[in-house]
Each structure stands twice: as C-alpha cells, then as structure tokens.
Structure 1
Amino acid sequence: MNTNDFKIFEAVAANGSFTKAAEAMFTVQSNVTARIKNLEEEFGAELFTRTSRKVTLTSAGETLMQYCKQVSHLIDEAKKEIKNADQVVGHVKIGCIDTTMALRVPHILNRFGELYPDIELEFKSAMRHELLNDVLNYKLDAAFISAPVVNPELESIHVKEEQLVILTSAQTPKLTDVLKHDPVKIVVFDQGCVFRARLESWLGSKGITQYKRTILNSIEGIINFVEAGQGISILPAEIISEYYAGRKLNTFTITKELGIMNVMLVYRKNIPQSRAVKAFIDMYQNTAEATAII
C-alpha cells in the first residue's frame, strides 16, 4: 500500500467507475482493479459495492475516504513546510458568507497582507452549510460562519458580534406597517442563508408563516429591491451604516435573540497546520487584532 493507492481509491469513488478512474489516473483498468483489491485485502473489508452500472462506496469505504483526505492533506502540508522551511509563505483557502466576501474581504487582504506579504489568500463565498462541509473535507483551511458551531472535529474562535437590522423602504415609517401587508413581501438570499433564516424566524414570531419571497444573489440587489419597496430584508447594521447610509432605507432593530449574530472562524482541530494557515488563525486569537481585520 502506498499513497498512489489512495489516489486511485479516491478516483474510483469520484468517478463511480474503474474505467473512468483509470482514464483520470492515466493508467489501465487492470491496474486500478488490482490496487483496489490490494486495499480491500489490506483493510479486510470491501470498499466498493459493484454493479453493472456503477460502483459506490461501502460503509468501510466511506470511513477510509475520510482518512484518505487526512493523509492527502498532511502530505501536501508537509511538502509546503519542507519546501519553505525558512519562510512564512504559502496559500490559505478561506470561506465566508456573501456579506463577508463583498464588504469585509478587502480589509482582511489589506491588513493580513501588510503582516504577511508572501502568503496568498484565496476566498470562496457560499452558504454556511457548504462552508462547514468544505472545512471538514479539507477543501478550505478555515471559514467565517455564524454561531453556533457544534462539531467535535472543528475548533472555533469568536471574531465579531454583528447587530442585525430589518431593512424597509424609506416609505415605511413603522415596522408594524410591514405586517399589515397581505402577503408580506421579503427580499432574501437563497435557502441556507443565515439572514434569511433570521428574517423568517422573526416573521414566525409575529405569527406570519405565509409571505412572498424575492430571491436574489447579491447584497446590492437586495438593497435596490428593498429601497424600491419590493419587500423587507435583514442585514448587518454596520454594513448599512458604512456602505449604504445615503440610500432611501429605514432600519429597525429587533430582539437580541434574533438581532445578534456572532461570527466565528472555524477550522479543523487536531491536525498539523502549515505556517501560513497558523499565521492566519493566530491573527484571530487576539480579539483586538481580529476587530481590526474584519
């Protein structure tokens, strides 16, 4: 058994086919079959369920896949550390929700870049559940998400407390006026967005379960639609005051339970981190420094 066996194993799982895995790995099918057979003998369990149409991972295969990802990650990190033994350089992959991507990432790049100019940061924007999965599956080194974080495989650092506010058009002087509409109209991101979940929870607390949604994929779009009177939304107050203060909007605070969002930086625990990743994480161990960055 060697690391290439693991790569072949991952290729079969990804392609659902020994033939396609052989093509992806630039080898022949007989070699793929032999390598998988050796692994199954090594671990004493079938790793794939084979049918005429497709091969899929067994429960034992699923378990081995998690360890394969860990092994691949550790080897990659070891190569980086050995190659750059005397320098703090490297590539760090960070995930964040849309508001962080659009409005916070420039600050992170500027501040972190001043301290570590030789570290390259790569950002991905996605919904909370996807970011968590990407960190767990080694696709991201860390991610900014909303609390709570309950997973024994993850470590988390509290970064920032966000005050959320409900947004309405300037033509809506009172929040109670919103609830008189039938149906109530809301302007939100797609399913899985923490802001959408908070707004729908707030409506539920008012006894409103039926409403008309307009779903958009950008902050600017949400601001434009709310300003035009197409519905209400919810976003961090700081974003509105800093970037949209001149727009024709009204903001309303809500109860602490729904109006406060704690931003956490999450990353995998109990695995060696490259110096580049550790430098990024360490930045957020210091509350004062973290506040300056995000």
Structure 2
Amino acid sequence: MDIQLLKVFFTTAQEGSISKAANKLNFAQSNVTHKIQQLETDLQTQLFYRHNRGITLTPSGQILISYAEKILHVIQEARLAVGDSSVPAGPLHIGSLETTAAVRLPALLTKYHTEYPAVDFSLTTGPTEKHIHAVLHYEQNGAFVSGPVEHPDLVQENVIDEELVLVTSVSHPPVNSIHDVQMSTLLVFHNGCSYRAKLNQLLHEEGILPVKLMEFGSIETIIGCVGAGLGISLLPRSIITEPEKQGRISCHTIPNNHAKVTTVFIRRKDTLITPALSAFLSEMRAHFA
C-alpha cells in the first residue's frame, strides 16, 4: 500500500472535501481524485460516496480510516526514533485544562523552556473531552485533564487534587445549601468541561433544574460576570483565590463528595517517549511531587 495514497485518503477523510484536502496538501483537485481512485483500485473497494454535498466515507472507508491514522503516526514515530538524539528537541504538543494552565503550569513551563530551548513546545487549553480525543488521535503527546480517565489505550498519572467551590458575587446572600442558589443563572464552560459536569451532577442529586445556563470560553470572563452579579459558577479554589482577596467574588463550600477533583496527566500507552516528552514527564513529576 502506497503511503502517499494513504496520506491523501486520510487528509480527504479529515477535511470531508476533495477541494479542502487539495488545498491542505497543496495538490490539484484532480490529483487528489486520481490518488483516491488509485487507492480504491489497489484495495478493490470504494472508499467514498460522492454526492452533491461532497463526500462521505463508505463502510470500507470507515474501517480504513482508523488503520490509516495509526500507520501514518507510526511512520512519523519511526522518523523521530531514527533521528532522535539524547538531547530533547523537536515538537512537543501538550493539552491542558484552562484552570490548570493558568495556575499550576506557568512555573513548570518556564523551567522546562529554560532548560530545553530546542524543544518546539506548544500548549492547547480546553475541556477534558477535547484533550482525551486529541491524545487518542495522536494530536497531542499528552494532556492535563480531570480524572479519573478510564480508557484501555491511555495511561494516567495523578498530578494534583483540586477543591471545587461555588462562586458568587460579594453581594450574594450566604449560601448554606445548593438550594439557596437554585434560581441563579449558571455560568459554565462549554460541553466537555468536568467542572460543569460536577455542577450538573450536584444539581441533579438535589433534584434541581437550572433556571438558565450561559456558556463562556474563558476563566476571566466567568469570574468577571460572576462578580458583576450575572450568575454563579463552580470553579477550583486555586483559580479564584486572588479575585476573592480583591473582594471581587465570594466562594462557598459544597458537599465533600462533590468538592474534590483530581487533575491527571494522560498519554497513549503506545506513544513513543521521545527525549522531549521524557524530559517533560521528569520535570512534571518533580514539580508536582
């Protein structure tokens, strides 16, 4: 099987369009079409349905896509393994919860960058579900997410325990139970956020249906809107310590069975431990010891 044909197939499947794949690969559309036809001839099966709205994977294409992803990743790993020296260098893609990145990682990343300047490090923030998907699909070398994460293809290491607290404006009356805020608007991150899931679980167990829910993409926006009285939120105490000291917001404890969330670092079991990743794991373990 020609690797170039497999790459064209995988890119086309990812983009969902021959024209978009051609643009990404810097090929002519006719070239992409021809290479897909070559692969279909080689495998003696149709890989895409062609229709007015574009293309869709056939059952055979759906089977091949997972193999293609693994094959292309293994080839990339082989190149890295052959070319690796003992000095950490090259790309390292790490994901993180936004709260963890803001509070727990700056010192670690600064030290790592200082000691290993040849590493092309990138950090992507977002919710847990997004990072699990990215690590599973070889888009990230590892990620800091809310645990526990149970998946046969992943390994996880406990990093730190966070205490979750209910956050309100300073003018909000005392909160003695979750029922005291049941009429409040909930300010949350997008779907896939573990803190949002915890809040939903707490409300569900108390038989409370949210009156209104508003989604935001950043911690600063949520804290600012909570402080202004727009609504309430559930966040790690570590992230709201400074705003609370400044008198911008108030925090309230919640039942112990909902208050703890463990941040873990995940990576694929079959991922190549490059010198860059090995150095990062060592620095991470020392930092959070």
Question: Contact conserved, 1:166 with 1:235, CA < 8 A, in 2?
Answer: yes
Code of the aligned partner of 2:213 = R
SS in 2 for 1:267: strand
Question: What pairs with 1:253-264 in structure 2 (closer than 5 Å)?
Answer: 253-264=253-264
Match of 2:212 in 1: 212
Give the distance between the partners of 1:223 and 1:29, measured in 2 at CA.
48
Write out per-residue CA displacement over residues 24-74 of structure 1, whole angstroms, 9 at most, x where no aligned residue: 545566654554344335445432233455332123322322222222223
Aligned to 1:291: 288
Q: Please show how residues 147-186 of structure 1 align to structure 2 within 5 Å.
A: 147-176=147-176, 179-180=179-180, 183-186=183-186
Give a deviation string over 1:173-204, Cα, whole Å, max 9, x none: 52137734672232222233222222232223
Q: Distance in 2 between matches of 1:121 and 1:272?
A: 16
Aligned-residue CA RMSD in angstroms? 2.8
Judged with a 3 Å threshold, the aligned counterparts in structure 2 of structure 1 residues 176 and 51 are, in CA distance, closer, same or farther, namely same
2:250 is the alignment partner of 1:250: yes
Shift in Å, 1:149:
1.0
TM value normalised by structure 2: 0.86
Mapping for residues 38-117 of structure 1, pairs under 5 Å = 38-51=38-51, 53-117=53-117
Per mean C-alpha deviation after superposition, the further-off stretch among 4-13 and 81-90 is: 81-90
**Letter of the aligned partner of 2:174 in structure 1?**
K
2:268 is matched with: 268
More divergent stretch after superposition (225-234 vs 44-53):
44-53
In the alignment, the residues of structure 1 paired with residue 239 and residue 20 of structure 2 have an alpha-carbon distance, to the nearest angstrom, of 48
Aligned partner letter, 1:278: S
Q: Distance in 2 between matches of 1:134 and 1:13?
A: 17
Instruction: Name the count of aligned residue pairs.
Output: 289
Report the Cα distance in structure 2 between the residues aligned to 1:190 and 1:22, rounded to whole angstroms.
Answer: 32
Instruction: Give the aligned residue type for 1:98.
Output: E
1:120/1:234 CA distance change after superposition, 3 Å: same
Measured after TM superposition, the shift of residue 162 of structure 1 is 0.7
The aligned counterpart of 2:241 is 241
> Runs of 5+ in structure 1 lacking a partner?
none
- Rounded Cα–Cα distance in structure 2 between residues aligned with 1:179 and 1:271: 46
CA 1:279/1:236 → structure 2, altered by over 3 Å: closer, same or farther? same
1:136 maps to 136
Taking structure 1 as reference, are residues 64 and 249 closer, same or farther at Cα in structure 2, changes over 3 Å only?
same
Does the CA contact (< 8 Å) of 2:167 and 2:233 recur in 1?
A: yes
- Between the aligned partners of 2:138 and 2:43, the Cα distance in structure 1 is 23
Once the two structures are superposed, the pairs formed by residues 225-236 of structure 1 within 5 Å of their partners are 225-236=225-236
Instruction: Give the alignment's TM-score, normalised by structure 1.
Output: 0.84
Question: 1: distance between equivalents of 2:283 and 2:203?
Answer: 38
| Runs of 4+ displaced beyond 6 Å | none
Identity of aligned residues (%): 33
Q: Distance in 2 between matches of 1:144 and 1:166?
A: 23
Aligned to 1:127: 127
Question: Which letter maps to 2:223?
Answer: I
Cα distance change, pair 244–181 in 1 and its aligned pair in 2 (3 A) = closer
1:5 maps to which residue?
5
- C-alpha separation between the residues in 1 aligned to 2:273 and 2:250? 45
Relative distance call for 1:6 and 1:183 in structure 2 (3 A) is same
Structure 2 regions of 5+ residues with no counterpart? none
Secondary structure at the counterpart of residue 176 of structure 2: helix
| Matching residue's letter, 2:79 | K
Letter in 2 for 1:239: I
Distance across 2 between alignment mates of 1:20 and 1:114: 39
2: CA distance, partners of 1:55 / 1:185: 42
Deviation of residue 262 (structure 1)? 0.8
